[in-house]
Amino acid sequence: MFKTIEDNGFVQIEYMIYIENDEISISYNYMTHSKIIEDFDEYTDYHSESEFSYIWQFKFISNKLHFIRLAIAG
């Protein structure tokens, strides 16, 4: 698994590539609640952004990489 997270204070964006046997997953995860501003309370002007995730799934079949599906949540 290879993963990196970017955090700008308002959102965290996670990029990940996961390889297991003949399957590969690539994901993009847009998350709220950054740790940078976790101590803010209801009196701040911070508003949660919407969260969503995309996961592209691939599989090697007969030595060729095939697209299996795109899973979306959010």
Query: For residue 39, what pLDDT band results from cuts at 50, 70 and 90?
Result: low
- Does the pTM exceed 0.85? no
- Two tokens at 28? 């993009």
Count of structural domains within the chain? 1
Of residues 38 and 65, more confidently modeled: 65
CA–CA distance, 18 with 74 (Å, rounded to integer) = 21
Domain range enclosing 17:
2-73
Residue with the bigger pLDDT between 11 and 66: it is 66
Strand residue runs (E) in 1-74 = 2-7, 12-20, 23-31, 52-61, 64-73
